[in-house]
Amino acid sequence: MWMAGYAGRTAPASGTESPLCARAVALRRAESPRVRAVTVSLDLVGIDAELAARVKKALADRHGLAEAEVALACSHTHCGPVVGSTLRSMYPLDDGMRERSRAYADFLVGEVDLAVGEALSRLKPCSLSWHEGNCGFAVNRRANKEAEVVAIRQAGKPLAGPVDHRVPAIAARTPEGRLIAVLFGYACHATTLSFDKWCADYPGFASEALEKSNPGAVCAFIAGCGADQNPLPRRTVALAKAYGDQLAESVSTALSRPGKSLGAQLSVALVRAPLPLEAAPSKEELEKQASGKEKYIASRARNLLADLASGKTMPVDYSFPVQAWRLGDHTLVFLGGEVVVDYSLRLGREITGPAWVAAYSNDVMAYIPSRRVLKEGGYEGASSMIYYGLPASWREGVEETLVDAVREAAKRVGATVSSR
Of 163, 156, 392, 200, which is closest to residue 281 (Cα–Cα)? Answer: 392
CB 368, CB 335: distance < 8 Å: yes
pLDDT in tens, 90-129: 888 888 999 999 999 999 999 999 999 999 999 999 999 9
> Is the model's pTM score more than 0.85?
yes
Bond prior to 233 in cis (omega within 30° of 0):
yes
Question: CA 359, 112, 327 angle in degrees (round to 5)?
Answer: 50
Q: What is the mean pLDDT of the chain?
A: 95
> Taking 70 as the threshold, does the pLDDT of residue 73 lie above it?
yes
The domain spans of the chain are 15-273+319-383
pLDDT in tens, 285-326: 999 999 999 999 999 999 999 999 999 999 999 999 999 999
- Give, in order, the Cα–Cα distances in Å from 209 to each of 15, 185, 347, 420: 22, 14, 30, 40
pLDDT in tens, 121-178: 999 999 999 999 999 999 999 999 999 999 999 999 999 999 999 999 999 999 999 9
